[in-house]
């Protein structure tokens, strides 16, 4: 059984790891993919030019799903280390 202080360190390390993973995904869909929009526009996706689609819809869908997943994952981390609120 680890001490409270160790648990807090473990909790924060995992929290920080999760933050980095989500910010990388965010970076790719916020910036990375739109840099290549002219090239992606040559590909057709359900009738849309892909570059336009990603800016008009694709990135947005990723963000919404990402936030629900993030909320779930962070709550799991909080519980794992006994840091969640009492319910």
Partner 1 sequence: MSIFRIEGAFIDNLPKIYALYTGGFFLFILAMAIGEKMGMSEDSIGIGFVAFTVVIYALIGWLSRTAQVDAYYVAGRQVPSVFNGMATAADWMSGASFVAMAGGIYMAGYPYLGFVVGWTGGYVLVSVLMAPYLRKFGCYTVPDFVGTRYGGNLARGVAVVVLIVASFTYVTAQINATGTIAAKVLQIPFGVGVWIALVAILLCAMLGGMRAVTWTQVAQYIVLIVAYLVPVFWMSAKQGFGYFPQFEYGAAVAKLADLEVLHQVGQLKPAQAVAGMSALVNSTAGAADDPIAKFRFVTLVACMMMGTASLPHILMRYFTTPSVKAARDSVAWSLLFIFLLYFTAPCLATLTKLQLLDPNLATSIIGKPISQVMALDWVQKWSNVHFLSVVDANKDGILQINEFFMRADIVVLATPEMAGLPAVISGLVAAGGLAAAMSTADGLLLAIANALSHDLYYKMIDPKADTKRRLIVARVLLLFIGAAGSAVASLRLTNILGGVAWAFDFAMSGLFFPLVLGVWWKRANRPGAIAGMVLGLGSGSWYLYMVKWGGMKPWYGLDDLRFGIVGAAVSLVAMVVVSLMTAPPDKETQDMIDEVRVPKGASVMSATH
What span, in angstroms and rounded, lies between the C-alpha atoms of 40 and 24?
Answer: 21
6, 17, 67, 80: which one contacts partner 1 (CB under 8 A)? 67
- Give the residue carrying structure tokens 């790719």: 28
What span, in angstroms and rounded, lies between the C-alpha atoms of 53 and 40?
Answer: 9
Q: Is 76 in the site for partner 1 (CB under 8 A)?
A: no
DSSP 1: -
35, 43, 76, 80: which one contacts partner 1 (CB under 8 A)? 35
Binding positions for partner 1, rule: CB under 8 A: 8, 11-12, 15, 19, 22-23, 26, 29-31, 34-35, 37-39, 41, 44-49, 51-53, 55-57, 59-61, 63-64, 66-68, 70-71, 74-75, 78, 82-86
């Amino acid at each position: 059984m680890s001490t409270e202080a160790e648990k807090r360190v473990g909790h924060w390390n995992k929290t920080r790891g999760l933050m980095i993973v989500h910010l990388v995904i965010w970076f790719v869909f916020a910036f990375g993919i739109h840099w290549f929009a002219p090239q992606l526009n040559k590909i057709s996706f359900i009738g849309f030019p892909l570059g336009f689609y990603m800016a008009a819809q694709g990135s947005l869908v990723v963000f919404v799903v990402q936030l629900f997943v993030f909320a779930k994952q962070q709550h799991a981390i909080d519980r794992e280390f006994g840091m969640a609120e009492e319910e």
